[in-house]
């Protein structure tokens, strides 16, 4: 298993469910990353959504 992984919050998933999934996989979140999603239209560029990711490291007992 890699020591560091990126987990993404899925479309129909809450942050708590994603954190539980990270823990079940044997990882511990260390950083939250938010990336905006933009859409271009005739008025310019507008933010329409965001992608939430967690950077996680392998828990010590799993190493």
What's the pLDDT tens digit per position in 14-46? 999 999 999 999 999 999 999 999 999 988 999
pLDDT-derived band at 61, boundaries 50, 70, 90: confident
Distance CA(41)–CA(53), nearest Å, equals: 27
Element (H, E) at 33: strand 27-41
Q: What's the pLDDT at 1?
A: 73
Q: How many CA atoms lie within 13 A of 9 on its CB side?
A: 19
With 60 as the cut, is the pLDDT of residue 63 above it?
Answer: no
Q: How many domains does the chain have?
A: 1
- The 10 Å Cβ neighbour count of residue 9 is 20
Mean pLDDT of all residues in 44-51: 94
Question: In which domain, by residue range, is 37 found?
Answer: 4-62
């Amino acid at each position: 298993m890699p020591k560091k992984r990126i987990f993404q919050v899925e479309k129909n998933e809450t942050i708590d469910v994603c954190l539980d999934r990270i823990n079940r996989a044997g990882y511990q979140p260390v950083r939250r990353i938010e990336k905006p999603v933009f859409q271009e239209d005739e008025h310019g560029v507008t933010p329409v959504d965001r992608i939430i990711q967690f950077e996680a490291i392998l828990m010590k007992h799993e190493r």
